[in-house]
């Protein structure tokens, strides 16, 4: 079981996403980096990780920050935990500003099926909080 936001967790998530057979179709045409920021993690820490997606596949991912990411999603640790545990919908969290989204929301909405598949992949990762 990997600790949320760790190198191992990011690698596990990338592998889970890349093993999904629906994502290549749902994500076809999307080519961008996404930065995830987790505020107020235990000990007052800030966690960050990113992934570059192309046509429904993770081509690169890592912990840390990627300043050139086209999309950025920032939220409190408790919100992220609730999403990963399946207790909260990520799109709803964006709409009520529990997660702050930066980037072209119209493009993301075009790929909403891919977003939902990725969130299902996140829930499959055995995660230690």
Give me the pLDDT at residue 99, please: 95
* Structural domains of the chain, count: 1
Task: Supply the pLDDT for residue 51.
Answer: 97
| Domain enclosing residue 120, as ranges | 2-128
Confidence of residue 96 (pLDDT cuts 50, 70, 90): very high
Q: What is the mean pLDDT of residues 63-79?
A: 96
Q: What are the Cα distances from residue 111, in Å, to 31, 41, 44?
A: 11, 29, 33
CA dist., res. 60 & res. 32, Å (int): 11
pLDDT in tens, 35-63: 999 999 999 999 999 999 999 999 999 99
pLDDT for 45 equals 95
Total-model pTM: 0.91
Q: How big, in percent rounded to 5, are the helix, strand and coil portions of the chain?
A: 40, 35, 25
Q: What is the pLDDT of residues 6-42, one digit of tens each?
A: 999 999 999 999 999 999 999 999 999 999 999 999 9
To the nearest whole percent, how much of the chain has pLDDT over 70? 100
pLDDT of residue 90: 87
Q: Residue 100 corresponds to which tokens in the numbers above?
A: 């702050």
pLDDT, the chain, mean: 95
Higher pLDDT, 95 or 77: 77
Tokens of 6: 């760790």
Q: What is the CATH number of the domain that holds 51?
A: 3.30.1050.10
The pLDDT score that the predictor gives to residue 29 is 97
């Amino acid at each position: 079981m990997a600790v949320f936001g760790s190198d191992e967790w990011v690698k596990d998530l990338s592998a889970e996403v890349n093993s999904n057979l629906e994502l290549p179709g749902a994500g076809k045409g999307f080519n961008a980096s996404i930065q995830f920021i987790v505020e107020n993690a235990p000990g007052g820490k800030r966690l960050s990780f990113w992934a570059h997606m192309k046509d429904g596949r993770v081509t690169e991912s890592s912990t840390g920050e990627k300043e050139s990411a086209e999309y950025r999603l920032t939220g409190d640790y408790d919100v992220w935990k609730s999403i990963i545990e399946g207790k909260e919908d990520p799109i709803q969290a964006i709409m009520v500003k529990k997660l702050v989204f930066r980037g072209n929301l119209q493009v993301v909405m075009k790929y909403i099926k891919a977003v939902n598949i990725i969130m299902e992949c996140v829930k499959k990762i055995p995660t230690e909080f």
